[in-house]
């Protein structure tokens, strides 16, 4: 039944995971390369995944009192210099507009790599009193970072994201915001992406340029590498002092605001591919999939097949299910391969024999299970299948995380675990141990986790252990 040529065109995961990944990005028509290295084209199928993520998050943001804004694309170089840690973190990798083509600009303009300084400057102008606080703004946009090595969705010179920026009149509220947004991201994984994110605080070494605290959602890919999939930052009053964001508090005293920022990007598309995909292609979790159901007529020229297919299409569409009917004259086998490769969650085969008993065949992409479904129950069955599929995919990904999270009591054990892929949990003395681990093994601290110490003494430095950290090799 399968069109060999098509399926064979994707490298298998165990042969070459990196090649499997880029093959899939292209073959599934998620993206294409442009003429400028590191800038990709988000094709309709890839962009539609992003739109579904946007729609989920935008609703959550608004429900919790956030407002969308749009800040300029460019930042004057001098403005960017104001917060020292921030500029050190970003300076090596910023694209600069220097000319309008006919004349050089008086000052170089940085194409935003992130917009803390733009929000901070604006906030300093519009906030006077505690009555103006909090301000909880978000923006959907693209940002530019001059990365040397790029890979579709995972690391690009340009990517799409949302960046939330909030200011508050007290520390507790700002810290709560930082953790609330982390929770929102974690729920995005749970509700929409079927990805169990591990959450935790970043070490001093790994935190965001300018932040006091950075929290992260980490996902574990099929190949055992971790992917930082989103972060939330608590800035304290650092930017507020650099950009003079002051307000008069209830006691009429002048204070600096407390600030946060947080973002997720189109990198999440990479996470979906590498967590759920298999050797046949993409496997899209049903709630984020652009097309949730594909209807494939078998012997599609027959009148009863044609009519039933159209009727099913209309019925599912009216129920709000994202459904596709492929009544082209390609063979059913070709279509099976094609939509498997594209990861469409549910396939409905509508054939004359099944129709005689008022049934169609329903196939779920993630486990290839087939079952006969009565036409009368179809919409209900599809919705039930999507729900089960989502839960199973989440559970499978969670099992993968649990199976690949190992504890290390000695440095040798750490190294041995690391070779198996996945997270290694270890209690360390601090940055000295973190640096040594990275030098020796290439693994980085993904997150500090709430946990009892694994050992009292750090196995790397033999000093007193102070925190328990998940390490992994990462994208």
- Interface residues toward a copy of itself, by CB under 8 A: 32, 34-36, 39-44, 47-48, 50-51, 67-74, 76, 79, 91-102, 108-111, 118, 121-122, 125-126, 137, 141-142, 144, 146, 158, 160
Of 70 and 84, CB closest to a copy of itself: 70
Measured from the CB of residue 196, what is the shortest distance to a copy of itself in angstroms? Answer: 28
Could you identify the residue written with the tokens 């300018």? 210
Query: Phi and psi of 413, rounded to 5°?
Result: -60, -40
CA 328 to CA 335: how far, in whole Å? 9
Of 159 and 336, CB closest to a copy of itself: 159
- Is residue 435 left, alpha or beta, with left meaning phi > 0 and alpha meaning psi from -120 to 50? alpha
- Output the CA torsion sign for 147, 150, 154, 159: positive
The residues, any chain, with a CB within 8 Å of residue 374's CB and separated by 6 or more, are 358, 359, 381
Measured from the CB of residue 35, what is the shortest distance to a copy of itself in angstroms? Answer: 5
Q: Are 246 and 254 in contact (CB under 8 A)?
A: yes
| Strands across the sheet containing 323-325 | 323-325, 293-297, 346-350, 359-364, 370-374
Q: Are 138 and 264 in contact (CB under 8 A)?
A: no
Q: Longest Cα pair distance anywhere in the chain, in angstroms?
A: 80
Of 72 and 333, CB closest to a copy of itself: 72
CA 109 to CA 75: how far, in whole Å? 5
CA 96 to CA 77: how far, in whole Å? 9
The residues, any chain, with a CB within 8 Å of residue 399's CB and separated by 6 or more, are none
Query: Phi and psi of 315, rounded to 5°?
Result: -65, -45
Measured from the CB of residue 119, what is the shortest distance to a copy of itself in angstroms? Answer: 9
Could you identify the residue written with the tokens 């500029």? 87
Measured from the CB of residue 362, what is the shortest distance to a copy of itself in angstroms? Answer: 27
Of 55 and 367, CB closest to a copy of itself: 55
| Residue 133: closest CA among 177, 81, 92, 80 | 177
Measured from the CB of residue 160, what is the shortest distance to a copy of itself in angstroms? Answer: 6
Of 138 and 229, CB closest to a copy of itself: 138
Measured from the CB of residue 212, what is the shortest distance to a copy of itself in angstroms? Answer: 26
Of 97 and 435, CB closest to a copy of itself: 97
Measured from the CB of residue 148, what is the shortest distance to a copy of itself in angstroms? Answer: 10
- Specify the DSSP element, H or E, that contains 440: helix 431-441
CA 109 to CA 96: how far, in whole Å? 5
Measured from the CB of residue 70, what is the shortest distance to a copy of itself in angstroms? Answer: 4
Of 62 and 409, CB closest to a copy of itself: 62
Of 94 and 364, CB closest to a copy of itself: 94
Q: Are 32 and 40 in contact (CB under 8 A)?
A: yes
Measured from the CB of residue 98, what is the shortest distance to a copy of itself in angstroms? Answer: 5
Of 121 and 231, CB closest to a copy of itself: 121
């Amino acid at each position: 039944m399968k069109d060999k040529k098509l399926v064979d065109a994707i490298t298998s995961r165990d042969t070459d995971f990196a090649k499997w990944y880029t093959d899939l990005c292209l073959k599934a028509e998620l993206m294409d390369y442009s003429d400028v290295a590191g800038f990709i084209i988000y094709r309709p199928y890839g962009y539609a995944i992003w739109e579904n993520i946007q729609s989920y998050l935008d609703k959550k943001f608004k429900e919790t009192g956030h407002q969308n804004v749009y800040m300029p694309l460019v930042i004057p170089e001098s403005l960017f210099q104001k917060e020292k840690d921030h500029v050190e973190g970003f300076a090596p990798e910023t694209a600069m507009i220097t000319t309008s083509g006919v004349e050089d600009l008086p000052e170089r303009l940085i194409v935003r790599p992130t917009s803390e300084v733009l929000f901070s400057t604006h906030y300093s102008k519009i906030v006077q009193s505690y009555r103006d606080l909090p301000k909880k703004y978000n923006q959907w946009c693209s940002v530019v970072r001059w990365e040397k090595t790029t890979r579709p969705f995972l690391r690009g010179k340009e990517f799409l994201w949302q960046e939330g920026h909030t200011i508050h009149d007290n520390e507790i509220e700002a810290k709560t915001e930082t953790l609330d947004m982390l929770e929102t991201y974690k729920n995005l994984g749970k509700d929409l992406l079927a990805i169990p994110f591990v959450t935790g605080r970043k070490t001093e070494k790994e935190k965001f340029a300018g932040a006091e605290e950075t929290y992260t959602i980490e996902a574990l890919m099929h190949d055992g590498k971790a992917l930082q999939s989103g972060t939330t930052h608590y800035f304290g009053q650092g930017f507020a002092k650099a950009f003079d964001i002051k307000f008069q508090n209830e006691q009429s005293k002048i204070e600096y605001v407390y600030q946060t920022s947080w973002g997720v990007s189109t990198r999440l598309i990479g996470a979906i591919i590498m967590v759920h995909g298999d050797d046949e292609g993409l496997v899209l979790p049903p709630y984020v999939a652009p097309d949730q159901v594909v209807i494939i007529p078998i012997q599609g020229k027959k009148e009863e097949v044609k009519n039933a297919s159209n009727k099913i299409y209309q019925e599912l569409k009216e129920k709000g299910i994202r459904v596709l009917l492929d009544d082209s004259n390609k063979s059913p086998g070709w279509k099976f391969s094609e939509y498997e490769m594209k990861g469409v969650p549910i396939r409905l085969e509508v054939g004359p024999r099944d129709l005689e008993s008022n049934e169609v065949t329903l196939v779920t992409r993630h486990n290839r299970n087939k079952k006969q479904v009565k036409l009368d129950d179809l919409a209900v069955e599809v919705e039930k299948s999507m729900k089960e599929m989502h839960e199973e995919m989440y559970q499978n990904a969670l099992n993968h995380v649990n199976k690949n999270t190992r504890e290390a009591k000695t440095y040798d054990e750490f190294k041995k675990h690391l070779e198996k892929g996945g997270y290694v949990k270890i209690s360390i003395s601090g940055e000295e141990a973190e640096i040594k681990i990275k030098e020796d093994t290439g693994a980085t601290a993904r997150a500090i986790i709430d946990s009892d110490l694994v050992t009292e003494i750090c196995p790397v430095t033999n000093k007193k252990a102070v925190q328990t950290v998940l390490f992994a090799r990462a994208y």
